[in-house]
Structure 1
């Protein structure tokens, strides 16, 4: 049987442009991890050779999709002070690109000060008046820009979202990113953006490779028991089943979908560490993702003087939605994140990827994390100006560094 390669012949270079030199893999903290053969493939399903499930056509389509987004990230961007500040959640004051900062396109902010007036106008438009002040103001702005726009709107580039919320091994009093954390629960919820509905789910527990015994803290936090992970498949088999599930949903050669996470740790830390410890490369379709708390802040909370990024429970509170299920249950959290996405869809929000994962570099402050590059918002805005003039993408004008080169 041929050795397993989850992404087969999918090169990391399709995103980063040039082939990276091989580095010493002796350090546990290294993140420049190239595909390695599995020593034992006896537990891998026999259909693993169907490498065409995600073929070279997928890679070519994804390249074209990224160019359509206006992302010139075929080579990693040179690190700047602004990017460093932004990636560490301390954005400067919001700015507006000069090309879009015109009186006819930007509505004066003082029209949204009186919340009674905002609620009245929402009711008149037969829109929901539930949610925080930030939510209500943005909802009204979106609705009024749909009326204001006088030219056709480009269709949103995404057809589907796959919402993930991995649960991973953890230890009390040890901050994430300072040690290996392996996925122990792998949930996914598929959202059809056109019909604004959840259409499918994937769920599996995962047997960790290194942390064979879960800590009491981990079990108390996640509700996952030792017996559950002992009976579960290891990550390579789970990734193959996930790839089969993607194919069954018709997404194998369709790049009009994006991974959604509750932060960068899901992919850059949990999945990255798990792939490294299982000697498989990070699957190509995880390299481009939407950081939901960051995106939520861009859309709804750009007027917040504290610039605080809401977590999942905070986003639910802003939208006046109750938490359903158990917090830190992976599948329950993924469903709650999907409910947040559906609420944003109802407000007219158009979803876009926000970040790229670079497994050839490590985060400067969290050495076990792969480097995450934010997608250049200025080029993104320019590429989708029509759509953003009339829908929630307008709020991205207030994103940190939006007007900086």
Structure 2
């Protein structure tokens, strides 16, 4: 029985968005699930941004993450090893990891390089679940997470734009994509 890891990141931004190279992770959420989408374990941490330590008003309103949350958090070079220690016991059973779109993968790869960090995830396949969902549903273009949940007959659980809630909701869609494609076995 194998596991999949679904990761969601929240990052510094401004209305209209910033290019990924200007963004910094402020929250990591991860849900470790079996192929049936049942959560085995989870991880959530706030991360203190270094280059732009003050969150914009737009970012605070979008994510419901306060300045105090990130001010009291550790930086990514401290938080990422905590994540790797959390993931280590599960790594032998981990088939891969996914996120809703490619942003999270791009941001992680950028920040691993920027901070000289390594990750077990680098050796595993990454699935763009947003694209896979659109392909499975034969949609003309990929849709947002909330719209995908609605198309699947589900509602969003929790607060949107919070990393662990977004990861858990994305994980709920994983079995629909993976089982239909035969990419994993039901466990």
Q: Look up the match of 2:16.
A: 173
Task: Say if 1:211 and 1:314 are closer, same or farther in 2 by CA, change over 3 A.
Answer: same
1:244 counterpart (73, 85, 96)? 85
Shift in Å, 1:275 = 2.9
1:51-62 alignment, distance < 5 Å: none
Aligned mate of 2:96, from 244, 258, 264: 258
CA distance in 2, matches of 1:259, 1:166: 13
User: What is the aligned partner in structure 2 of residue 351 from structure 1?
Assistant: 183
Residue 275 of structure 1 is matched in structure 2 by 112
The answer to whether the 8 A contact 1:316-1:322 is kept is yes
Whole-Å separation in 2 of the counterparts to 1:348 and 1:180: 37
> Structure 1 residue 166: deviation in Å?
0.3
Aligned to 2:7: 164
Match status 1:316 vs 2:149 = yes
- Cα distance in structure 1, aligned partners of 2:113 and 2:88: 24
Question: 1:223-282 CA distances to partner (integer Å, 9 max, x unpaired)?
Answer: 111111111111122111111111233x1xx264211101111121x22343344x2145
Alpha-carbon separation, structure 2, partners of 1:255 and 1:298: 27
Change (3 A) 1:350 1:237: farther
Q: How does 1:49-198 map to 2 (within 5 A)?
A: 159-177=2-20, 179-193=21-35, 196-198=37-39
The 3 A distance-change label for structure 1 pair 159 and 230 is: same
Residue 61 (structure 2) aligned to one of 205, 208, 220: 220
- Report whether the alignment pairs 1:206 with 2:30: no
**CA RMSD for the aligned pairs?**
2.3
Q: 1:233 to 1:351 in 2, by over 3 A?
A: farther
Q: Which runs of 5+ in 2 are unaligned?
A: none
SS at match of 2:47: strand
Deviations 1:303-322 (A, max 9, x none): x4xx2112211211110101
Aligned residue for 1:164, secondary structure, equals strand
Separation in structure 2 between the aligned mates of residue 174 and residue 199 of structure 1, nearest angstrom: 33
Is the contact made by 1:223 and 1:329 (CA closer than 8 Å) also made in structure 2? yes
- Tell me which protein shows more helix as a share of its residues: 2
Aligned residues: 184
> Which consecutive residues of structure 1, in runs of 5 or more, have no partner in the other structure?
1-157, 353-386, 388-405
**Contact 1:267–1:286 at 8 Å: present in 2 too?**
no
Query: CA distance change for structure 1 residues 266 and 309 in 2, over 3 Å: closer, same or farther?
Result: same
CA contact (8 A) 2:100 2:170 kept: yes
Larger Rg computed on CA atoms: 1
Q: Which has the higher strand share?
A: 2
Q: CA deviation at 1:207?
A: 0.8
Offset of residue 343 of structure 1: 4.2
Supply the distance in 2 between the matched residues of 1:169 and 1:308 (Cα, whole angstroms).
26
Contact 2:37 / 2:174 at 8 angstroms: preserved in 1? no
